[in-house]
Structure 1
């Protein structure tokens, strides 16, 4: 009898770093099933703006946690953790290697380290006070309030993510301990035998890829996708509609900004998002980094990753 931990492979990296294409080849070479580690790709009807993999790109590799909830259904890191645990067990039971691919650091860490999400309960009155403050003074004022008591959480959360900002304020109010400090104290002992691989590349090249990706999204119907979501009655205030590519296009469609302004903001905000992703990944010390700056050397990058994996789970 063995006490060996169940194996778990993870590939992470900032947006536009090339995770999707590499992940399919890695999965084929290592008998994997892929679990999406992206907080936005769970939503149905949000495909272009989330750069969701197309069925024909999967090349027969099973993918999980795509299109599982409607845009008006809340989905949290705790939900991801619960479903992810079940999927890992099911994939392993089929004799396959569970493989998480994504860029949402909190979701991935919550799953691989078994974070506890009790967070001290709830205070509806306090939450109403913060919502009223947000409505009166705006998103930046609310974000500044969080920055005063929990700078690390403020750095992680976008000013327009009012729901999560209010929750972070509520946690600090209820427990007296900032949410970021609670997360930092979570155990880093994983119930899995983890291989954690990260993609890195020269920053200017990453920003160039981001801009090219956004141009492709626009050519592939991003504006039309956002219009369809609005026509279906999904409110711009939903967490899903605050995602990159959606919150910038909505004001254009509603006549509050020009197309050029929307595109400028989308590119700028995505660059900033990638920077926050990299900042999060830097504190994940177990990552084995693979430099993918030379995009013409795909086979070498794949070989380097497969060499990291080789023999680890044998």
Structure 2
């Protein structure tokens, strides 16, 4: 059997371009593992692969979800499993790439089959965050599920909201749901690497990429999204780089102020991502500097089980 290659890393670490190189070298196809790149309404500001990258190797699960859908990790797992199996059946290497740590953890370690959470519960949790702040959200999460909350490092509103929503929406803590899980890809069949550019290099890339996004139509994309009048609590609407532009369109800030805010929040997000990927299992993951990329690619050529 061919291996399943997983390429993770923080935003702007060069994952998309590297995944194309790997897929071309091993005879693979690319599958999205990024929670924002699934949305059809958010192409530029989610940094989806370029047309050139998509033309060089098949890509899957990019832009296949409408922006008003609350797409979950469980739904992604249900979508990705048949794609992986189809690739392996055709003797093709699945190359999963993205910056969503929960997706990779669910893939390799399993995920509980949690029922969908109703919209009202999610809106109430989002309102708590908006009105009372991240401290109040964490305090509630700690009361409802202290075990799961203890695993959340720093300010991570998405994960804290998930803990609260599951406990409120199912009357059962996320920790209890996670007690019985199965992995889609057993770790022994996966090759998992994390791209780790130097922090200064990464931050410079983040700043430059956001400027490039805006030059490439990102401002117009944001305007189209806001014109759809989606619920602000939807996952897509919380995208860093999108939500900061709302204040500009409402006349509450200048464009320069919105841009600087977006860059700053993107850098903070990248720092949280790196903390996650360095500290979360599996122990066998490879942390790749730019100098390590060629060696990893060569090690994957011809690998099978």
Q: TM-score, normalised by structure 1?
A: 0.82
Gapped runs of 5+ residues in structure 1? 295-300
Query: Structure 1 residues 258 and 33 mapped into 2: Cα distance closer, same or farther (>3 Å)?
Result: same
**Aligned equivalents of 1:123, 1:219: Cα separation in 2:** 38
Shift of 1:65: 0.5
Could you say which residue in structure 2 is the equivalent of 1:143? Answer: 137
Could you say which residue in structure 2 is the equivalent of 1:309? Answer: 300
The aligned runs of 1:156-235 (5 Å cut-off) are: 158-159=156-157, 161=158, 165-172=160-167, 177=173, 179=174, 190-191=185-186, 193-235=189-231
Answer yes or no: is the 8 Å Cα contact 2:107–2:184 preserved in 1: no
Q: Partner of 1:248: helix, strand, or coil?
A: helix
Answer yes or no: is the 8 Å Cα contact 1:17–1:200 preserved in 2: yes
**Aligned equivalents of 2:269, 2:179: Cα separation in 1:** 21
The aligned runs of 1:73-152 (5 Å cut-off) are: 73-118=69-114, 130=125, 133=128, 137-140=131-134, 142-146=136-140, 148-149=142-143, 150=146, 151-152=149-150
The aligned runs of 1:197-276 (5 Å cut-off) are: 197-276=193-272
Q: Give the one of 279, 288, 291 matched to 1:290.
A: 288
Query: Structure 1 residues 181 and 219 mapped into 2: Cα distance closer, same or farther (>3 Å)?
Result: farther
Shift of 1:154: 5.0
* 1:279 and 2:275 aligned: yes
Q: Give the one of 15, 19, 22 matched to 1:19.
A: 15
Query: Structure 1 residues 156 and 53 mapped into 2: Cα distance closer, same or farther (>3 Å)?
Result: farther
- Report the RMSD for the aligned CA atoms in angstroms: 3.0
Q: TM-score, normalised by structure 2?
A: 0.85
Gapped runs of 5+ residues in structure 2? none
Q: 1:70-120: per-residue Cα shift (whole Å, max 9, x none)?
A: 10012100011111101001111222111101110101211222322337x
Shift of 1:195: 0.5
